[in-house]
Amino acid sequence: MLPKDSMANTFLVSLVLCVVCSLLVSGAAVALKPMQERNKLLDRQKNIIEAAGLAEDGKRLSGKEIEELYAARVTPQLLDLETGEYVPDADEKFDPRKAAKATDTSTSIEGEYDIGVARRENQTWVYLVKDSGGNIQQVIVPVYGMGLWSVLYGYVAVDQDLRTIKGLTYYEHGETPGLGGEVENPTWKSKWIGKQIWAEGKPREDENLMVGVAKGAPSGDKAKYEVDGLSGATITSRGVDSMLKYWFSDDGFGPYIQKLASQQGASN
């Protein structure tokens, strides 16, 4: 037995304390990991459901209800952005964010639309909502781009006509609450419903891209395509504008949506 006030005893007590604490912390991290992963997945599913407006108005869904509604209504498909085709037998664990970081699985973002991010993945998940006859009712696509402080990640649901926005949600960002963080404000989000992405009656091509955030309140014809910016958050608003234009351009989901529209025989 070491004397209580000896140097060796002090070291021994500190060592035991450190080992016990580190075991507790790492044990908790390992034990909670699956729960964190499930919550992250649930949050994404909740946002997809919200963008698509699949839940009853204003109803708060439990985790189980989110999982059930998602499984019943949403079909994820891995999309090759270059070809506009789905990737057959896709690995459900495919992570587009990881793919965007590696040069062999991503493309550099250049040209007209700057989203403040250097590269984007070549393949990404899109989500289809179908009716009982298997016809596409909505396509939900992921969008992201730089705001003021952070990259904002969200989803845009495009309606059956493959032109009209059905909903927009952001599920991850680091913008200031009350300023750029107002991208999450339900009133602002609801303003996107019904906005047209391309000029009415014109081909879904870059020269006809009209969707975006207005500088000031959108007036006249622009109100069909634009939502007013967030006050005190011009930079975040500009980020939302750029990312919508980029992701619906020929470099983003444009070719895929054109292809879907011609397969569906959409009127224009």
**Sites of contact with ligand FMN (CB under 6 A):** 148, 175-176, 179-180, 231-236
CA angle at 69 for the pair 66 and 74, rounded to the nearest 5°: 110
Residue 203 vs 232, nearer CB to ligand FMN = 232
Compute the least distance from the CB of residue 114 to ligand FMN, in Å: 16
For residue 119, the cross-strand partners are 108
How far apart (Å, rounded) are the C-alpha atoms in residues 133 and 113?
Answer: 38
Q: Up-side HSE of residue 104: CA atoms within 13 Å toward CB?
A: 0
Residue 192 vs 198, nearer CB to ligand FMN = 192
Compute the least distance from the CB of residue 231 to ligand FMN, in Å: 6
Residue 233 vs 257, nearer CB to ligand FMN = 233
Which residue has the CB atom at the shortest distance from ligand FMN?
180
Residue 50 vs 182, nearer CB to ligand FMN = 182
Compute the least distance from the CB of residue 147 to ligand FMN, in Å: 6
How far apart (Å, rounded) are the C-alpha atoms in residues 103 and 108?
Answer: 8
Compute the least distance from the CB of residue 218 to ligand FMN, in Å: 16
Compute the least distance from the CB of residue 191 to ligand FMN, in Å: 17
Residue 134 vs 216, nearer CB to ligand FMN = 216
How far apart (Å, rounded) are the C-alpha atoms in residues 177 and 174?
Answer: 9
How far apart (Å, rounded) are the C-alpha atoms in residues 251 and 253?
Answer: 7
Q: Up-side HSE of residue 207: CA atoms within 13 Å toward CB?
A: 3
